[in-house]
Every structure is written in C-alpha cells, then in structure tokens.
Amino acid sequence: MKTFAFAKAGTVAEAVRAVAADPDAVFLGGGTNLVDHLKLGVARPGRVVDVTAATSGEIRENDDGSLYVGAGVRNSDLAADGVVRRRYPVLAEALLAGASAQLRNMATTGGNPLQRTRCLYFQDVTTPCNKRAPGTGCSAIGGATRQHAILGASPSCVATHPSDLAVAMVALDARVHVTGTAGEREIAFTDLHRLPGDHPERDTVLAHGELITGFTLPAVPWARRSAYRKVRDRASYAFALVSVAAGVSLVDGRIDDVRLALGGVAHKPWRATEAEAVLRGARPDEEAFAAAAAAELAGARALEGVDGGNAFKIPLVRRTLAAVLRELTAGEPNP
C-alpha cells in the first residue's frame, strides 16, 4: 500500500477544507470500501481524512413529516430505527440485504452510496479499466460480463453500481445534503450518480472536496407500502444480479402512485420512470406488470461474455419486478 497521511476532522468545514485543498486527498467514513481499495492498490491517496466525528449520527423527524438522516448514521442503526421500519420499510430491507452485520455496524449512510463498482477488472490493477485509468479500455467488454449492465452502459464502461441502500433512496425520492467550499447545496438522489458515457471514472456529480452531510426522506403515503427484493447468486451477502425497490399506493382498486428503482442493472441506481408511467392508474394485475417491465426494458442491451454473458438479467428483471408489485398490491388499501 502507498503510504498516506491521516487526519481526523472535527467539523464538516474542517473536513471539506482539508480535502478540497489537496487533489490527492479522500474522505473516510466507515471505510468498508476504501480500505479494500487501499489494499488492492485501486485507491492510492496521499491523504485520508476521517469524517466520522464531523458528520451527524442523528435520525430525526422534521416538522413537515419528512425524515432527516445524518451521513454519520451507521447502516445497522438506520435499518433498526423504528420510524424507518414503519414508514420506509424498503430502506430497512435494502440495508439488511446489503451486507453482513459486521459491515453494517461500520458502514455509514453517507459513505455507502459512494462505494465503487465490484467489477472484477476494476479491482484488478493488472488489467485495463477506463474507470480506474481513463483511456486504457474496458476489459469487461468481451470478458466476464455476467454481473454487468443491461441499461445505460457505454463503450467505455459496462460496470454496475453495487449499493442496495442507494436503490432504495432513489425509489424514495430522497434528497442529498452536500457541503463544499462554495457552501451547501441539495441534490435529488436520482441525480447524484452518473451514467458512464465517456467518463466512467466519475461515479457522481460531486466535486472534489464536496462532502455528503445527510439525506431527507419525504413524507409520502406510498413509502409505507414499499419493499426491496434482491436476487443474487447466494444468500450470504452477495452483490445483486438484479434488485427492485418499489413503493405503491392504491385507490379504488387502482395504482394511484408508484415509485420503482432497479439495482444490479446499470452504472447507477436505475429509476424506472417508464414502468412507473405505465402503472399509474392501472389495475394491479399481471398484464400491467408485464407492460411496465416491457416499457422499462425496451432499451436494455445484453452483453456476451466468456462466462455466458448477462442476457438472463432481462427476464430476471421482469419476474422480480412482477413479484414485488404482486406482493405490494395484494390485500387491503394503503393505511
């Protein structure tokens, strides 16, 4: 590992100044992803700034009914919070599906969405990778592609985003609070991450030195009727082949409102707006579920690969989406 300087920031302002002033500096939250990359040689910062004492560990209900979650909240605490479990079950389920208890006890809510892809080639510094070394090529194309993207990929990168929490946050219309040298700003969670385009090395829209300080979850009725389903190779905390986060409200036997997001299928958590448009006002039946999936997957492109490729993900999305919607629309109307 490259030798690096280490500092603990006591405030958000101190952390932002320290990283923004040094192009070779990075923030450290729980470190569950960064430490792996330090060991692998994927990340080679000159300075690591610990922000665990600077960011808030608070979960609070706001006057308008929304919920504020500090970036320093541990994933285990967020998943166990009574308000989250009651009002935003999709978020609790995504967190519990995302990692072992030991990792959840370390990982922070602010750091989790910023974890980087688990693409084999990104993590192997002996192979070309545009995300790790721009302009070198994408070794995944024509290689092992089973885990890779079917939506939003580019010739520069076909990797997928690994965070389960991020998929739930996209479905919940969360807002991201960010502080940088220019001050504070808010970003819609759906806009936080980028598709690869010609610059897959840039995972998010954050500028260097900008720090996530918290999130706001809106008070919306469909969030109470929500769920997260993750399909993976093994139950013991593997990354998603496909995941679905969904929230639904029903009025008079029809879908009044719905939010859908997909994981394991794109470079960013994928908001399924085409599927949502099909479902609003529709009766919750198999025909509507199939039509919604078809609309969202119209632009899906499977990859061939030495491991058999990822064409199986397209029907897997259809089945998983239908299963979650079937579960959420059964039974009584929304409370």
Checking if the pLDDT of 134 tops 70, the result is yes
Counts of helices then strands in the chain (DSSP H, E): 12, 12
- Which tens digits make up the pLDDT trace of 224-279? 999 999 999 988 788 999 999 999 999 999 999 999 999 999 999 999 999 999 99
3-state secondary structure of 256: strand
DSSP 8-state code for residue 43: -
Q: How far, in Å, are 97, 106, 327 from residue 83 at the CA level?
A: 19, 21, 22
Checking if the pLDDT of 196 tops 90, the result is yes
269, amino acid identity: P
- Which tens digits make up the pLDDT trace of 78-89? 999 999 999 999
Question: Tokens 């490259």 belong to which residue?
Answer: 2
Tokens of 56: 């808030």
| pTM of the predicted structure, to 2 decimals | 0.96
Nearest to 179 by CA among 147, 206, 145, 197: 206
Q: How far, in Å, are 21, 87, 149, 161, 189 from residue 141 at the CA level?
A: 37, 41, 11, 17, 29
Summarize the confidence of residues 1-29 as an average pLDDT. 96
